[in-house]
Amino acid sequence: MPVGRMPGRRVISAALAAIGFFLFLPSSGSAEPRHALAMQGEPLYPAGFDHFRYVNPDAPKGDRLTLGLLGSFDSLNPLIVRGTAVQQVRNYVVESLLARGQDEPFTLYGLLAEKVETDDARSFVTFYLDPRARFSDGKPVGADDVLFSWQLLRDKGRPNHRYYYGKVTRAEKVGERAVRFEFADTADRELPLILGLMPILPAHAVDAEHFEETGLKPLLGSGPYRIAEAKVGESVTFKRNPDYWGRDLAVNRGLYNFDELKLDYYRDANTWFEAFKRQLYDVRFETDPGRWTAQYDFPAARTLGLVRESAVSGEPRPMLGFVFNTRRPIFSDPRVRAAIVELFDFEWANAKLYYGAYRRTASFFEASELSARDLPVDERERALLVPFPDAVAPDVLEGRYQPPVSDGSGRDRARLKRALDLFTEAGWVLRDSALVARADNEPLRFEIMVSSRDEERLALGFATMLRRAGITAGVRFVDGTQFERRRQTYDFDMMPYTWQQSLSPGNEQNFYFGSASADVPGTRNYMGAKSKAIDAMITAIIAARSRDELVAAVRVLDRILMSGIYVVPLFHLPEIWIARWPWIGRPITPPLTGPMIESWWRVPESSQTRPMDKR
CB-based contact 58:601 (threshold 8 Å): no
Encoded amino acid at 295, one letter: Q
pLDDT above 60 for 440: yes
- Residues 88 and 78: their CA atoms lie apart, in Å, by 8
Task: Render pLDDT for 19-37 as a digit per residue (tens, 0 to 9).
Answer: 232 333 333 344 799 999 9
Give the integer Cα–Cα distance in Å for 86 and 328: 31
Query: Coil, strand or helix: which one is 443?
Result: strand
pLDDT at 11: 34
- Strand (E) or helix (H) holding 558: helix 547-564
Q: Is residue 548 part of a domain?
A: yes
In tens, the pLDDT along 47-81 reads: 999 999 999 999 999 999 999 999 899 999 999 98
Residue 129 falls within a domain, yes or no? no
Percentage of residues of the chain with pLDDT beyond 90: 83
Task: Note the pLDDT of residue 610.
Answer: 57
- Picking from 591, 518, 512, 599, the residue whose alpha carbon sits closest to that of residue 557 is 512
pLDDT of residue 222: 98
In this predicted structure, what is the pLDDT of residue 491? 97
Sheet of 178-183, strand order:
113-118, 124-129, 178-183, 168-173
Residue 321's SS3 state is strand
Distance CA 582, CA 585 (A): 7
Q: Tell me the per-residue pLDDT of 283-335, one tens digit each, with 9 for 90 and over.
A: 999 989 989 999 999 999 999 999 999 877 778 999 999 999 999 999 999 99
Closest CA to 553 of 377, 399, 390: 377
Tell me how far apart the alpha carbons of residues 291 and 158 are, in angstroms, rounded to a whole number: 36
User: What pLDDT score was predicted for residue 377?
Assistant: 97
| Alpha carbon 341 to its chain's center | 24
Q: How far separated are the first and last CA of the chain, in Å rounded?
A: 48
pTM for the model stands at 0.80
d(CA 503, CA 351): 31
| Res. 136: pLDDT tops 90 | yes
Q: What are phi and psi of 213, to 5 degrees?
A: -85, 130
Helix (H/G/I), strand (E/B), else coil: 324: strand
Q: What is the mean pLDDT of residues 483-511?
A: 95
pLDDT at 612 over 70: no
Kindly give, in sequence order, each residue whose CB lies less than 8 Å from that of residue 99, ignoring residues fewer than 6 positions away: 108, 109, 110, 111, 251, 252
| pLDDT surpasses 50 at 361 | yes
> Helices (H), strands (E): how many in the chain?
17, 25
pLDDT at residue number 611: 55
Per-residue pLDDT tens digits for 473-485: 999 999 888 999 9
Q: Could you give phi then psi for residue 580, rounded to 5 degrees? A: -145, 145
The residue among 1 and 496 whose pLDDT is bigger is 496
Name the more confident of 313 and 527.
Answer: 527
To the nearest 10 degrees (0 to 180), the angle between helices 269-277 and 453-467 is 140
Instruction: Quote the CA–CA distance of 563 and 447 in Å, as a whole number.
Output: 24
Q: If residue 236 lies in a helix (H) or strand (E), which one and from where to where?
A: strand 235-240
Residue 525 CA: distances (Å) to CA of 376, 498, 520, 561: 27, 12, 9, 12
Name which of 317, 362, 324, 455 is nearest 3 in CA terms: 317
Tell me whether residue 502 is in a domain.
yes
* Banded model confidence at residue 214, pLDDT cuts 50, 70, 90: confident
Q: Is the pLDDT of residue 414 over 80?
A: yes
Percent of the chain whose pLDDT exceeds 70: 93
pLDDT of residue 592: 84
User: Residue 363 is part of which domain span?
Assistant: 319-572
CA distance 591 to 15: 9
pLDDT of residue 10: 36
Give the model's pLDDT for residue 1. Answer: 53
* In the predicted structure, residue 117 carries a pLDDT above the cut 90: yes
Which pLDDT does position 593 carry in this prediction? 80
List Cα–Cα distances, 113 to 197, 222, 417, in angstroms: 11, 12, 61
Strand pairing partners for 283?
67, 580
**Backbone torsions φ then ψ of 259, nearest 5 degrees:** -70, -30
DSSP for 10-70 reads TS----GGGG-GGGGSPPP-----BSEEESSS--SSPTT--S-TTS-TT----SEEEEEEE
C-alpha–C-alpha distance, residues 49 and 45, integer Å? 6
* Domain-located, residue 435: yes
Q: What is the pLDDT of residue 613?
A: 38
- Which of 342, 384, 362, 400 lies closest to 558 in space, CA to CA? 362
Alpha carbon of residue 433 to chain centroid: 41
pLDDT, residue 114, reads 98
pLDDT tens digits, residue range 427-439? Answer: 999 999 999 999 9
How much is the average pLDDT of 123-151? 98
The rounded distance, in Å, linking the Cα atoms of 145 and 151 is 10
288 inside domain? no
Q: What is the dihedral of CA 362, 367, 371, 373, to 10 degrees?
A: 50
Task: Name the pLDDT band for 8 (thresholds 50, 70, 90).
Answer: very low
DSSP symbols for 484-517 = HHHHHTT--SEEEEEE---SS--THHHHHH-GGG
CA dist list (Å): 119 to 29, 33, 126, 253, 567: 6, 10, 10, 30, 40
Q: What is the pLDDT of residues 257-267, one digit of tens each?
A: 999 999 999 98
CA distance 141 to 134: 5
Q: How many domains does the chain have?
A: 1
Q: Looking at residue 21, what is its pLDDT? A: 29
Q: Does a structural domain hold residue 52?
A: no
Q: Please give the full DSSP string across 82-118, using - where no structure is assigned.
A: SS-B-TTHHHHTS-BSEEE-TTSSSEEEESSEEEEEE
The per-residue DSSP string of 261-318 comes to EEEEEESSHHHHHHHHHTTSSSEEEE--HHHHHHSS--HHHHHHT-EEEEE--SSPPP
Quote the pLDDT of residue 313: 76
- DSSP annotation of 333 reads S
Residue 517 belongs to domain with CATH number? 3.10.105.10
Closest Cα to residue 578, out of 376, 278, 276?
276
**Could you report the per-residue pLDDT of 141-193, keeping only the tens digit for each?**
999 999 999 999 999 999 889 988 999 999 999 988 999 999 987 788 999 99
Q: Rounded distance, CA 91 to CA 105, Å?
A: 19
| Segment of 3-12, 76-85, 246-255 carrying the highest mean pLDDT | 246-255
Average model confidence (pLDDT) across the chain: 91
